Structure 1
Amino acid sequence: MRRSRLFQQQTTEEAQIDLTPMLDIVFIMLIFFIVSTSFVQESGVKVERPVASTATKQSQSAQVIGLSENGQIWLNHQRIDVRLLSASINQIKASQPRFAVIIEADKRATTGALISVIDILRQAGIPYRVATQKSQAN
């Protein structure tokens, strides 16, 4: 009878897998991917940038103003009227005194719309750059 009890105790124990090391690895991988992901700001409107042979890649983070081919202006993924752009830029400047602007203008956008955006930025004293694509043929 004693042997039957010992035999029963051994068979009722179940094998358990410890998941803690696997969860640790998954958590570390998650942190790695979050940290290594680059965050890219976009204007909120799809534009086809003009090509320039002297284009260079900029690493400075900045606010992006998008200018579509039909003259729509986008700031922080929201369409904005050109008359409200100055007030919005001044509001951003009040909270972030040292910021720059990248103008992402479609290559089919009118020069007049681009000049009006540039004029607003110059009046506010904000440095700006116009985004282009690097020419493929050199």
Structure 2
Amino acid sequence: MIKTAKAHLQENLSVDMNPMLDIVFILLIFFIVTASFNKEAVLDIERNNSPTLSVTPKVTPQFTIDANNKVYLNNRQVEIDAINVNIAKLAANADITAISVRAHENSQHNTLVAVLNAIKEQTSAPVALGDVLSN
């Protein structure tokens, strides 16, 4: 009889999974609610839709001072007072990469200094002193 009672009890045993599913769903909802969702930072890139590239030409103006203290810009005579205007015109049309200044050995020092001062008032381009001209 003891064996039949145990066998009878084992036949009536069943596992109820409903409470387990409830716990799983409660945990799932808890983790979803408490999770923090961060939006990733994105770099904004502005694309240029124009197919052509504008390339500004580069120039290197050359100043020459002759023995009579006359100043020439690219073989064209200019006044010392007009050097600022001429450099501004060149800078408006192209990028000035460097400026070359060449002086005759018999020219006055004041003329060279006046030209250099006028150049530096208008632009920050490097100034190169070239070979001394002699006739």
The normalised TM-score by structure 2 is: 0.50
Of structures 1 and 2, the larger Rg is shown by: 2
The normalised TM-score by structure 1 is: 0.49
> Which one scores higher on RCO, CA 8 angstroms, separation ≥ 6?
1
